[in-house]
Structure 1
Amino acid sequence: MPELPPRPSLEYLRKQAKSRRRERGIRLSEAQRQIAREHGFASWPKLVHYVQISGLGGLEGALVRADSTSLSTLLRADPAAADTSVAGLAPLLVLLRRSIGSPAAIRDCARLLLDAGADPDSHTVEWGGEGRMSALFAAVDRRDAGLVRLLIECGATRDEDAFYHACEQSGTELLDLLYQPGFENLVAHKLDFEDADGLRWFLDHGADAGSCLHHAIVRGRSTEILTMLLDAGADVNQPWDRWDVGRRPLALAARSGHLAAYDLLASRGATADLDAVDAAVLAVARGESVQLPDARPPAVGMATRDYGWILGQFALLGRTEIVQALVDDGMDVDSRGWSNFTPLDQAAMHGRTETARLLIERGADLEDCAFDDDGPTPLDCALWGLRNNRAHDGDYIGTVEALLSAGAPTFHTSPTGDESIDRLLVAHGVIASAEHGAGAELRAGAKHSAGEDRPAG
């Protein structure tokens, strides 16, 4: 049995699994399981857990393990250690970004560091200098309102990037904690997700409904979301002032293949002269044609420069019959759309079981990672959508079951907190137990792109 080195590298093990997947023609999840068992571990998650904590000593080990007893001893011996770089990061960031401890243990360690003089505004500059990942950002990533509250009480600045990242999660507690006047203008990012309660929060805080109706349409938001914007005063005939400048909502709905939005807007008195592109896409949405136009997408954030992106749009809308017609006509089943997601990613994230099954049957890539080698797989997208992007008519149990039955892999290693989903994950050997509640945030949430000219959350 191969032995792990004293300081095993998780990156190396992941590359080894991907190499084995290619060499043996097996699924990534199977390659991971093989490697874990060769090293004496029952599962890949158990191997990952071991690697994360092995070989770390001193301050770094105490932070990664969230060992408050050891940390307290170390800080008493050297108080300056609270603000001395560890592995290139401020100790507070090591704790918040890397620790595998429980939420309570991490909060205890954070308080020890802050009481010893750690900077609550510890951060790194990211995205080519366009933003920063602060301690608050990391606390948001952990979905820990108590940790966010602690940092703010200790003087952390409510920064826009942390708030922007909070928009990617369901619930409004983090928004309340991080809000500063003016942040309501980030409403468009909330509309990157299917979150009616989150949108209501923004509208209650004065967000301009008229400024984001077009964004909601092209993003494929439900008629529930669109109705909220219309009821809040959005003008059904207001021309767009950005990406597709001058286009009215009705024409944009046609051009985006969003038939339900088109019918809703028309019922509210929207009018527009449809050009050839609008009319062609609308005909596809109505099932009258499969001939998509040779035109650019109507918004930024698409992975393609042509209309291949719209297969994912129909997938997220649950338009299975349209997806089937387009695939039957020769469209690539893995055509990329918003934020480099495939149609299966989009269908999974919105709980579109029948569409997901169709795409799986037609050979959709179950192992594809949307952003890079560590990006979300389709199953990751389903599990993330369950918590953060829950379409009111989405069937997440059916979608997760379809993906698991097809052998779809996931980077997720912890219970989701949804009993039905966790039973499926246990039954398929993805997680060992669902007894300990929801774990760390899913990878899909950590990298889900905004579709705007900002770095992804």
Structure 2
Amino acid sequence: MGRLPAKPSLDQLRKRAKDLARAEAVKLSEAQFRIARDHGFPSWPKLQAYVRRVTEHGETLQHPYHQDVHYYAERALGLLASAEDETPGAREPFERRGQPLTRDGARAVVAREHGFGSWKALREHVESLVDSGEPFARAYRAIEARDPGTLETLLTEFPGLVTARGTNGNDLLGMATATCDERLSRLLLDHGADPSRGNVHGWTPLHQAAYKNLPLLLDQLLDAGAPVDVPARGDGGTPLVVTLFWGHREAADKLATHSRAPRNLRVAAGLGDAGLLDELLDPGGTLAPAAGRHRGFYRPHSGFPAWQPSDDPAEVKNEALAWAARNNRVEALKTLVARGADLDADVYRGTALAWAAATGRVAAIRTLLDLGADVNRVGTFGGPNHGEGVTALHLAAQSGHLDAVRVLLENGADLDARDEIFHSTPERWAEVCGQPAARDLLRATR
């Protein structure tokens, strides 16, 4: 195939077609068709449309790559949610495109960011994307198929792919990181991909590796110069914080050797850093000013509901308790409770016990219960359309953490507790979520 420059020129392609037509004594339409096919496009109009979009929008263009129209509708809703809760930078595309903060406004923004004048035009393009020949979509399919051979061929034919962006500003390196395939990310880095580049939310490949708990990919990206202190989805949302949010201890411990930023109380609690805990929260329960700073990050994606952290000292301590629990930091739990943290506080989508149960942290569960946590405390967890009125037993059952289920049952967890949305018991949660061992354990306990 021919090599299409990063900044293709329609005039040059037209000239090539005329030259080919004369040299081969064929019709111009035949020459145009050959050139289009040479670049992987099914027709000259498809190649023309692609080049026009790239030429008009340049590096700001977001290339469609997913074949499901619903995917773009979800991205529009996510962008709107981020703008409404004032995530840094999320309002800028609405202002730049002159669109209101509404669903239709968000869809118009998404369409125009992809180089289309309307949502309808974007939808029609996406519906025929698989046959469009567009290189970014083909590269995405190669990544999804974990096919480094095809990806390398495309990177050679279309050198601009390494810097191109897709929906939400995601680039191919970020997508490759999400697949957990080190061969793909290594290939992109070798072709010049920038490991420090974030998407529209500031989310870098290092954030993605942290989110997925991939220590080997973290090493690869760190060796390539990926920055460790860049925030995403809010102030303080470093890759380390992303790992601690999910309780990914292995990745967190690796990142902490490079940086512990931001050095606030929830980071100290999540790492079990006794020295930093003492620095930020004295034995009398008084917080240092830095303890509650840089907590603008509170969710990794818009599937969690909007929330605004406050400077309330009780909230700062109680949130830190939940971060210690999900990371199984037993001594930090004891320190925080001794210095005023509320065992049953549900600061943001989950009590400390709920998080310990959801992540299967048995030592943390035992510690919290020994300290006096209510085993049947009802609270929230995760997305607003899922975790309302749930108990720790619901969450342990949902995730199939059998040891956590056993400890909770030993301490009086209610088998018949029902959540507020589905009105289902922990046993039913285990069944619906594909955890037959947990279901059978709960059933046998009756």
With normalisation by structure 1, the TM-score equals 0.41
Bigger helix fraction: 2
Specify the structure having the higher radius of gyration (Cα): 2
